Amino acid sequence: MTVGRLEVVSTQAYCSFMPYEFSFTRRFTVNDAEIYINQCCWGGDVVRDRLLPTVTANFEDIQTAQEDWGWFIWFRRGPIRLGIDIFCDDPKNGEFRIHLTSRRRKFLFLESYVDTPELEKVRELVSSEIHSWTGSVRVERIDL
C-alpha cells in the first residue's frame, strides 16, 4: 500500500497513520551539511527551528532530534501526544514534507492514532508559520 510518497509495508509502519501532510519548497544553505544522517534529514533542523517557538508557546513536554528518516518535534497537550515529522525530498531544490500526527494512550504502552482538536490547532500553527516563511504550502488531509 502507498500513502502519499511513503510505501507502507505493514499497518504498524512508522508514519502510516498521518492525518496531514504538508509540502513546500524553500531553498537555503546550511552551516554544516556533515551533521545530517541521510539526505532526507538535510535542512530539517532549519525547518524545526522555524516551528519550535510556536510549539513551545502552545504545548508541553517538547522533544526534538534527528533520526535516520528526518527530524521530529514531539510534544503533548494533556493526554494527547502530538508529532511534527520533517523530511527533505530534494536538498538542491529545497523540497520538504511535514507529517502531523496525534495519539492517545489506549492501554499501558499501546497508543492509537486519532484526529483531535489539538491536531487541528497544530495544523493551523504549522500552516501559518510555513506559509509566512515560504509564501506557499500545500496541505493534504490523509484519511486514517
Residue at 10 is within a domain: no
What CATH number does the domain containing 69 carry? 3.30.310
Residue at 3 is within a domain: no
Residue at 6 is within a domain: no
DSSP 59: -
Residue at 29 is within a domain: yes
Residue at 13 is within a domain: no
Q: Report which of residues 126 and 2 the model is more confident about.
A: 126
Residue at 1 is within a domain: no
Domain membership of residue 107 as a residue range: 18-141
| Whole-angstrom distance, CA of residue 33 vs CA of residue 30 | 6
pLDDT of residue 110: 62
Residue-wise pLDDT for 66-110, tens only, equals 999 999 999 999 989 999 999 999 999 999 999 999 887 766 666
Q: Which residues of 32-59 are buried (b: 16+ CB within 10 A; e: fewer)?
A: eeeebeeebbbbbbbbbebbbebbeeeb
Residue at 4 is within a domain: no
* CA 101 distance to own-chain centroid: 8
Residue-wise pLDDT for 1-47, tens only, equals 333 333 333 333 334 455 899 999 999 999 999 999 999 999 999 99
pTM over the 0.85 mark: no
Number of structural domains found in the chain? 1
Provide the pLDDT confidence category of residue 124 given band limits of 50, 70 and 90. very high
